[in-house]
Amino acid sequence: MLSKIKSAAIIGIDAYEVEVEVDISPGLPGFSVVGLPDASVKESKDRVRSAVKNSEYRFPPNMKITINLSPADKKKEGPSFDLPIAIGIMSAGDSVSRAMLNDYLIIGELSLDGSINPVKGCLSFALLAREKGYKGIIIPHANADEAAVVEEIDVMPVKSLREIIDFLNGESAAVPHKIDIESAFSKSRKYSLDFSDVKGQQYIKRALEIAAAGGHNLLMIGPPGSGKTMLARRFSTILPEMNLEEAIETTRIHSISGLMREKSALIALRPYRSPHHTISDAGLIGGGAIPKPGEVSLSHNGVLFLDELPEFNRNVLEVLRQPLEDGHVTISRAAASVTYPARFMLLAAMNPCPCGYATHPTRTCSCSARQKEKYISKISGPLLDRIDIHVEVPVVQYSDLVSKVEAEPSEDIRKRVNTARKLQESRFKGTKVYFNAHMGPRQLKKHCGLGDDSQALLKKAIENLGLSARAYDRILKVSRTIADLEGSEEIKSAHIAEAIQYRSLDRDYWKTGV
pLDDT, tens digit (0-9, with 9 covering 90-100), for 95-110: 899 899 999 999 999 9
* SS3 of residue 227 by DSSP: coil
Q: Which CATH number fits domain 188-512: 3.40.50.300, 3.30.70.260, 3.40.50.10300, 3.40.50.150?
A: 3.40.50.300
Q: How confident is the model at residue 396 (pLDDT cuts 50, 70, 90)?
A: confident
Round the average pLDDT of the chain to a whole number and report it: 90
pLDDT of residue 512 exceeding 90, the answer is no
Answer yes or no: are the C-beta atoms of 378 and 316 closer than 8 Å: no
pLDDT value at residue 335? 67
- Residue 81: which of 124, 110, 121 has the closest Cα? 110
- CA–CA gap between residue 72 and residue 19 (Å, rounded): 10
Quick one: pLDDT band at residue 376, thresholds 50, 70, 90?
confident
How much of the chain exceeds pLDDT 90, in percent?
59
Tell which residue, 25, 7, 26, 27, has the closest CA to residue 16.
7
Sign of the C-alpha dihedral computed for residues 197, 200, 201 and 207 taken in this order:
positive
List of residues 6+ apart from 67 with CB closer than 8 A: 20, 21, 22, 31, 32, 33, 34, 35, 45, 85, 88
Question: What local confidence, expressed as pLDDT, does residue 509 receive?
Answer: 44
Beta-bridge partner residues of 496: none
CA distance 351 to 365: 12
**Directed axis angle between helix 493-501 and helix 469-485, to 10°?**
120
The DSSP secondary structure of 55-80, one letter per residue, reads: TT-PPPTT-EEEEEEESTTS-B-SGG
211 vs 509, higher pLDDT: 211
337-341 and 328-332 as β-strands: parallel, antiparallel, unpaired?
antiparallel
By CB atoms closer than 10 A (0-12, 13-18, 19+), residue 229 is middle
> pTM of the full predicted structure?
0.89
Residues of the chain with CATH 3.30.230.10: 2-168
Beta bridge partners of 11: 14
| Model pLDDT, residue 189 | 76
64 - beta bridge partners?
25, 30
* Per-residue confidence (pLDDT) for residue 513, from 0 to 100: 43
- Among 222-231, 400-409, 448-457, the minimum mean pLDDT is found in 400-409
pLDDT per residue as tens digits for the range 403-428: 888 889 999 999 999 999 999 999 99
Quickly state the pLDDT bin for 295 (edges 50, 70, 90).
very high
Identify the band that residue 261 occupies on the pLDDT scale cut at 50, 70 and 90. confident
The Cα–Cα gap between 124 and 122 comes to 5
167 membership: H or E segment, kind and range: helix 161-168
Q: What is the mean pLDDT of residues 219-243?
A: 92
| Maximal CA-CA distance, the chain | 89
Kindly tell me if the per-residue pLDDT of 199 is higher than 90.
no
Name which of 496, 487, 345 is nearest 419 in CA terms: 487
**Cβ count within 10 A of residue 77:** 17
The whole-number pLDDT of residue 34 equals 94
Write the CB contacts of 42 (distance below 8 Å, at least 6 apart in sequence).
33
Give the pLDDT score at 514. 39
How do beta strands 30-34 and 14-25 pair? Answer: unpaired
CB atoms within 10 A of CB 437: 23
Concatenating the DSSP letter of every residue in 304-328 gives: EEESSGGGS-HHHHHTTHHHHHHSE
Which residues are registered as beta bridge partners of 24? 65
Q: Which fold has domain 2-168?
A: Ribosomal Protein S5; domain 2 (3.30.230)
Helix boundaries (H) for 319-451: 321-326, 369-376, 381-385, 398-401, 410-427, 441-447
Contacts of 378 (CB under 8 A, 6+ apart): 310, 314
- Report the distance separating Cα 302 and Cα 236, nearest Å: 7
Using a 10 angstrom Cβ sphere, with 0-12 exposed, 13-18 middle and 19 or more buried, the burial of residue 175 is: exposed
Residue pair 388/256 in contact by the 8 Å Cβ criterion: no
pLDDT tier at 472, thresholds 50, 70, 90? confident
CB 370 within 8 A of CB 482: no
The rounded distance, in Å, linking the Cα atoms of 396 and 394 is 6
In the chain, list all ranges with CATH 3.40.50.300: 188-512
Around 62, how many Cα atoms within 13 Å sit in the side-chain half-sphere? 0
Report whether pLDDT(206) > 60.
yes
DSSP 8-class letter at 115? B
